[in-house]
Amino acid sequence: MEWQRFITHTDLYGGMTRMGAALRRASRTPATYQLRVESCKVAAMSVGIEVVRAISDEVTRAITRLLPQLSQSAKPFDEDALRELVAWKCNRLLVARVDGEIMGALMLVMFPIPTGMRAWIEDVVVDEAARGRGIGAALTQEAVRLARADGARTVDLTSRPSREAANRLYERLGFELRDSKVYRLTNVL
């Protein structure tokens, strides 16, 4: 049988497809897979990334829905708390819209230190129903673009080891695992 074309798992949506994920699980090797297909029909998906400048009921509802999917210990945000967060000079809240609905978010934090401008990506979350469709990649790439435009020397983020798909995404986007320890002091107040 003659095959018409090859596609890699990153061709669809700019991210990993379910088939690519199944192949990765089956082989347990971090490689780019080539799939032989006779034809490939991909449903169009429109992902738009926006910087939130004003808090609306829609943004509040979306963050309230998304945050528990990231952290069960996170306290719910109300509209006033979100307004304060977005108004903070160094913060940018990015949201991802799929067909008009907010399906993901992240916080980009920029700050100067003596060795230069730095950026930190925090609280990346994509709705469970929309994962694996390139939304996390689109959010992260836009955050990196904004950080570069503002002169950041580095962009850092942390991710729990249990978030295997997220960790593969960050490595695919060029982030490198650092040999460092992260310390946390709780109950500061």
The amino acid at 62 = A
Q: Is the Cα torsion angle 93, 71, 178, 175 positive or negative in sign?
A: negative
- Looking at the fold, whether 30 and 58 belong to one and the same domain comes out as no
What is the SS3 assignment for 43? coil
Q: CB within 8 A of 99, min separation 6: which ones?
A: 45, 46
Query: How confident is the model over 120-160, as pLDDT tens digits?
Result: 999 999 999 999 999 999 999 999 999 999 999 999 999 98
> Pick from 10, 26, 43: which residue ends a domain?
43
117 and 139 in a single domain? The answer is yes
* Closest listed residue to residue 133, CA positions, set 56, 23, 18, 52: 18
Count of domains for the chain: 2
pLDDT tens digits for range 5-49: 222 233 333 333 333 333 333 333 333 333 333 333 334 568 999
Residues 34 and 58 in one domain: no
Residue 56 counted as domain residue: yes
User: For residue 116, what are the domain limits?
Assistant: 45-172
Asked whether residue 110 is assigned to any structural domain, the reply reads: yes
Whether 6 and 86 share a structural domain: no
73 with 34, same domain: the answer is: no
Per-residue pLDDT tens digits for 50-81: 999 999 999 999 999 999 999 988 887 889 99
